[in-house]
Chain A
Amino acid sequence: MRKNLNVIAAYSIMMGLIILVGIFQSWNIALSIFNLCLISAVMTMGANIQWGYAGLINFGIMGYTALGGLAAVLISVNPVQEAWSVGGSNILFSLFFIVGMVLAVRYVLKKYKKSKTRTYIIASIIILGIIIIRFVSEPGIEAIEEVDPAKTGFLGGLGLPIIFSWLVGAFFAGGLAFIIGKVALGLRADYLAIATLLISEIVIAIIKHEDWLTRGVKNVIGLKRPAPYEVNLQQTDWFINLVEKFNSGKLSLISDFTERQAALNQFVIEGSSVFVKLCYSGLFLVVVIILLIFTQKALYSPWGRMMRAIRDNEEAANAMGKNVVKQHLLIFVLGSAIVGIAGAMLVTQDGLFTPGSYRPMRYTFLIWVMVIVGGSGNNFGAILGGFAVWFLWIESAPIGLYLVNLTTAGLDDTHFLKVHLIESVPYFRFLMMGIGLLLIMRYRPKGILPEKIEIK
């Protein structure tokens, strides 16, 4: 118990802060912060597996998040029959050609020794393949995008419950990570960082502009929900009774019947959105706990020991007969898959998929700040980092406003400096993140909760 005192203390402070937000601002805000904290925690766990366990630097988190989000769309949206009938066959043919192209390249790679001719053959296969695919897919894509462009204009998905997409998102992200890992894992650390960052930008470019698949910047809205809708809740009896029971103290103070009914209505409306958010929190909490159990088990297993050995001294681990390349690829795929789950969770919670909103600041660098601040190599640290940094990210605007008001208290309200500073309050979050990261890296380079390995 005593050993874990700092963990418990850190988490209680964090929960206390969220509860304070609930009391002073509103429970709605507190819960939405809490939910995004949980999602961030899943992302940081993924990044932490790669960076903390194996020392692999992955700046492509944004790409995996977006792929997870894409999975949510492809699983839950109902298929657009019309689009399938006008362009489906072209798309399927193109897919078939892509598979054929990949198989042909693989065959050439296996059959012939490395030479200039082989390179030329591969290049010509790829170029020829791309031309054929363009000719096959172009009419299909045009036809699909013309099907009711204001509402659909894409192929739609499978129409399954959205919760499945969390697994599928993991598979998508893992698959992408497998390809990237095969290409880029041999690079030196900072170049791996740049390569993954650029590849994730390519992924976003494709998701943004392939309208037939994702609707691109037109966004997909109104996704299915695993939780009940507020409107339905407000009309169900058991929920109204529940709210009445909860607020009976306040309600009994109001004597007038119509007034009491109005107050109850207000409570029901507030309560319904809190209830929906609580449903999400429950679902996310389950995911976080399952992942935490798995990652903790992995950390203390022989496999975890091997990963740390590889991280600390690759050559020695290699000499001991560990397959470094294979293990790196494995952990790269696993970590990215976890990020993919988080991406699907995020879209599930928002109920909409907006490819334009995927930006590296928010989805890559911020997650890295979380990992570093929380404590790389320590799962509890990573989760705490996700909570603390997200909390600051949201609450920095009010804090910034308070600070601005405090420092410029002597100035007139219309003074240009004060007006300018108040306008730029949203950017104080970048400042806080940056200074926080720099301070932590300088004075506590292992994070708030440093890695602690005990032999069990």
Chain B
Amino acid sequence: MDFVNAIVLLLNYIFIPALAYGSQLALGAIFVTLIYGILRFANFATGDMMSFGTMFTILFTWYLQSYGISLGFLPTALLALPLAIIFMIGYMLLIDKFVFKYYRTNKSPPVQLAMVSIGVMFVTQAVVRIIIGPSDQRFFDGEKFLIKAGEFKEITGLNEGLAIKSTQVITIIVTLILVSTLFWFLNKTKTGKSMKAYSDNEDLALLSGIDPKKIVMITWFIAGILATIGGTLYGLDKSFKPFTYFNNMLPIFAAAIVGGIGNPFGAFLGGYVIAFSEILLTYAYRKFFMYVLPESLEPDGLVQLLSTDYKFAVSFSILVIVLLYRPSGIFKGKVL
């Protein structure tokens, strides 16, 4: 019985939260990696683009709520998502037309494009803060828990409760659907394959008649979808605050590089690697050992490897180690 309790404890505090957080990071990381692979620059505006998409979702959610439209036990934000995605894609194409296109046609070095993306970051951040303000916004409605800790205890008779938030389940399901569609698109359709070809070797792709304009446009389409959904899921699960989104850029970058930049599947797994290591290394295992070990061996302290203050530092250290030993990432992306 103690053993089952220990497992439930780990599920509740480590596995499920890490899976949800990892999915949110993974979507962001695929976004970074696609932009890097096809448009060939490190996009420093990642976090702010995600907050921009989320802002649209929130605005539409409020709009729908004001008309009394809701999805029952599901959050209304899911209904607002498609509209937000359309606006987000529009914004991205606008930025591309007025900012990035010039440098792409001039074949500027990637560093210059990265600098330009910093300019975009400033502007996007300003627009988000001017429109919706810098403070916390909660836009979640519907059923909060799928299983409550108390109910779980009653049903199973265990000491440990297992609480599953509906946002966590939604996050995981939406991520799975989105990512599998994306991989199907990249690997099986003609457009997807031409995107991969363009990412591998631009000149060769142009020679074989692939239209770069179309590739770039589709990349921004996918990027807009990923950024909006990733941002919205994060906002539903935690809460929406522009500054947190800006900070999330850092673990997202770490995930993309750990997985191998330019490799979407690597980025997907990288998100989970970062999320799990962050939570595994900063969790206090005291209760777990109390269940597993006999009483005489019970630990005194918290049995915490690192204090939770260092959550971000963990992912960055992993990144540094990966850069040192395997600069192309765990799953062989482009060599840096």
Contact = CB atoms under 8 A, between A and B. Distances in A.
Contacts of B327: 186-187, 191
A7 interface: no
Contact of A187 (B109, B129, B323): B323
A433 B121 CA distance: 10
A424 B129 contact: yes
B122 interface: yes
A365 B122 contact: yes
A434 B126 contact: yes
A187 B122 contact: no
Given A198-B320, A201-B316, A441 B336 contact: no
A71 to B, nearest CB: 21
A265 to B, nearest CB: 41
B80 interface: no
A194 interface: yes
Contact of B130 (A190, A361, A427): A427
B111 interface: yes
A397 interface: no
A201 B116 contact: no
B127 A431 contact: yes
A430 B123 contact: yes
Contacts of B114: 57, 189-190, 193
A372 B320 CA distance: 27
B129 A430 contact: yes
Q: Which label, helix, strand, loop or mixed, suits the secondary structure of the B interface?
A: helix
B323 A195 contact: yes
B336 A188 contact: yes
B42 A209 contact: no
Given A194-B257, A205-B312, A433-B122, A187 B336 contact: yes
Contacts of B124: 434
A367 to B, nearest CB: 11
B122 A437 contact: yes
B250 A205 contact: no
A338 B12 CA distance: 48
Contacts of B133: 423-424
B313 A191 contact: no
Contact of A198 (B109, B119, B254): B254
A57 B113 CA distance: 13
B313 A190 contact: no
Nearest to A198: B316
B317 interface: yes
B185 interface: no
A437 B125 CA distance: 14
Nearest to A206: B313
A341 interface: no
Contacts, number: 125
A423 B130 CA distance: 8
B115 interface: yes
Interface in A16-73: 57
Residue in A119, A184, A209, A437 whose Cβ sees the most chain B Cβ within 10 Å: A437
A199 interface: yes
Contact of B116 (A197, A209, A438): A438
Given A189-B110, A209-B310, A198 B130 contact: no
A375 B120 CA distance: 20
B127 A365 contact: no
Contacts of B102: 442
B182 interface: no
Contacts of B316: 198-199, 201-202
Contacts of A427: 125-126, 129-130, 134
B119 A197 contact: no
Contacts of B115: 368, 372, 437, 441
A437 B309 contact: no
Interface string A414-444: 0000000101100111110111011001100
B41 interface: yes
Given A183-B320, A427-B134, A205 B41 contact: no
B250 to A, nearest CB: 6
B307 interface: yes
Contacts of A205: 309-310, 312-313
B170 interface: no
Interface in B177-224: none
Interface string B250-261: 100110010001
A208 interface: yes
Contacts of A369: 118, 122
A431 B312 contact: no
Contacts of A428: 126, 130
Given A369-B118, A434-B120, A438-B99, A191 B323 contact: yes
Contacts of B42: 190-191, 193-194
B110 A431 contact: no
Contacts of A201: 250, 312-313, 316
Contacts of A441: 112, 115-116, 119
Given A193-B114, A198-B316, 11 more contacts: A183-B320, A190-B41, A365-B122, A368-B118, A372-B115, A421-B130, A427-B126, A431-B126, A434-B122, A438-B116, A438-B120
Give 5 nearest A-B pairs by CB, closest first.
A434-B122, A434-B123, A430-B126, A431-B126, A437-B119
17 contacts: A189-B109, A189-B110, A189-B111, A189-B114, A190-B114, A191-B261, A191-B336, A195-B320, A199-B320, A201-B312, A201-B316, A365-B122, A428-B130, A434-B126, A437-B118, A437-B119, A438-B116
